[in-house]
């Protein structure tokens, strides 16, 4: 059974009771990420995410870690471009303790100066590790190239200079602006009772007050461009992207299926031709990113530098064929079956169900049931997916590459 409510302070609550399991997954979703920062605060959301685990008025960082380890649970967090999530998965008998601890972390974090100094160094090491991982770094390079004058182009980690400058007062001010109950969703899925969850949430989050500061978010403007980063690597790392669609766009399900056909599975066009038939790459896949007011569709591959141009030309040919000729009825049906099967299997996990509840409430402001999603997938026609293929695969693209070269061409697209 699904339930939703608002706490007395305005925080949204979504709960799915699943009596057939013994676990509970819970997540606190905050509608704030790197997109909500500016040039001076870029990296703040991610830094705060780290600091929430560094101790409260009643628990030290070590005690928080030992608490979840001691009950056989799991706790973690992540920051994205448009939201931050703190989540845990525990046995149902430990739900109250897990919720109380997460609430304590988010409402009573000490943000101690000595912990801030230590965690600053940890995140700088994280940035260095990231910079030594070109297959991750290439995606940030892509974002900054296709959104050069927009906050969606910011890195989630932020620049090292910002991290060195952040103070505790800066963090407190950012929290007061963004970590407000009207900008938060508590999502719970598992063997719980809604009334118990609501009562506990009212108790543990009652001290959270205020409203999010209002500011205008301009829609992103996609820029078709090219950026090559010359770096001594064994492989060439390449991303190409075209404009996509927002979360609530009616064409998003068609793009989901198109992604599956282009490069989302091991039987997709790109995987089969580039890896299986020609042996030109170990890793090649397509992806899409949807935001509240825009999105993108892209392709990633890693290949030998001497093969890079040939692989780019091949990707261009495959996309051009899709734009011109579309997909087949057999490809569309196979994609529908694969996507529906993957979706239904994933929802056997309480973590997946919690994540689905939280994101839909935070980003769309409503529940989207499994039946609703399956119906939307089934409704995608051959005509509608081919219209999307023509628009997306036929658009001017942005390309980014990291490797031992100075230039690559996308003129063949």
Just list the catalytic residues: 49
Pairing label, strands 236-243, 398-403: antiparallel
Strand order of the sheet with strand 226-230? 226-230, 398-403, 236-243, 294-303, 283-291
Encoded tokens for 398: 């942005």
Distance CA 287, CA 333 (A): 19
Q: Are 413 and 395 in contact (CB under 8 A)?
A: no
Residue 14's alpha-carbon distances to 344, 356, 366, 367, 400, in angstroms, are 20, 10, 10, 9, 40
Dist CA 21 CA 192 (whole Å):
10
Q: Where are the beta strands (DSSP E) in 254-381?
A: 283-291, 294-303
Distances in Å between the Cα of 396 and the Cα atoms of 43, 241, 244, 264 are 31, 9, 12, 21
How far apart are alpha carbons 292 and 248 in whole angstroms?
A: 7
What's the Cα-to-Cα distance from 228 to each of 115, 266, 310, 401, rounded to whole Å? 38, 28, 16, 5
- b vs e for 128-145, b when ≥16 Cβ sit within 10 Å of the residue's Cβ? eeeeeebeebbbbbbbbb
């Amino acid at each position: 059974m699904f339930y939703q409510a608002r706490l007395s302070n305005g925080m949204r609550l979504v709960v799915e009771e699943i009596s057939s399991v013994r676990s509970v997954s819970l997540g606190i979703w905050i509608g704030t990420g790197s997109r909500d920062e500016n040039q001076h605060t870029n990296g703040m959301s991610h830094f705060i995410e780290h600091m929430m685990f560094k101790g409260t008025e009643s628990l030290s960082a070590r005690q928080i870690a030992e608490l979840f380890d001691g009950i056989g649970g799991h706790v973690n967090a992540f920051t994205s471009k448009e939201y931050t999530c703190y989540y845990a998965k525990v046995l149902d008998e430990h739900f109250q303790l897990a919720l109380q601890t997460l609430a304590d972390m988010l409402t009573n974090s000490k943000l101690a100066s000595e912990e801030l100094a230590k965690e600053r160094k940890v995140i700088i090491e994280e940035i260095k590790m990231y910079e030594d991982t070109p297959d991750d770094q290439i995606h940030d390079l892509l974002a900054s190239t296709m959104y050069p004058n927009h906050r969606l182009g910011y890195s989630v980690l932020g620049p090292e200079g910002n991290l060195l400058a952040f103070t505790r007062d800066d963090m407190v001010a950012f929290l007061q602006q963004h970590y407000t109950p009207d900008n938060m969703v508590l999502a719970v899925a598992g063997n719980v009772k809604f009334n118990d969850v609501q009562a506990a949430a009212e108790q543990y989050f009652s001290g959270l007050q205020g409203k999010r500061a209002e500011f205008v978010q301009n829609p992103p403007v996609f820029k078709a461009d090219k950026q090559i980063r010359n770096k001594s690597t064994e492989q060439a790392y390449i991303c190409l992207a075209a404009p996509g669609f927002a979360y609530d766009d009616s064409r998003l399900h068609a793009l989901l299926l198109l992604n599956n056909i282009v490069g989302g599975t091991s039987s997709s066009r790109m995987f089969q031709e580039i890896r299986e038939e020609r042996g030109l790459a170990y890793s090649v896949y397509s992806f899409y990113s949807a935001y509240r007011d825009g999105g993108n569709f892209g392709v990633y591959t890693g290949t030998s530098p001497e093969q890079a141009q040939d692989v780019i030309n091949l990707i261009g040919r495959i996309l051009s064929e899709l734009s011109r000729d579309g997909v087949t009825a057999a490809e569309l049906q196979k994609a529908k079956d694969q996507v529906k099967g993957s979706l239904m299997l994933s929802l056997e996990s309480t973590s997946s169900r919690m994540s689905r509840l939280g994101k839909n409430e935070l980003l769309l402001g409503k529940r989207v049931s499994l039946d609703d999603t399956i119906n939307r997938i089934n409704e995608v026609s051959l005509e509608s997916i081919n219209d999307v293929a023509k628009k997306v695969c036929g658009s001017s693209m942005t390309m980014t590459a990291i490797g031992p070269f100075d230039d690559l061409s996308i003129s063949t697209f």
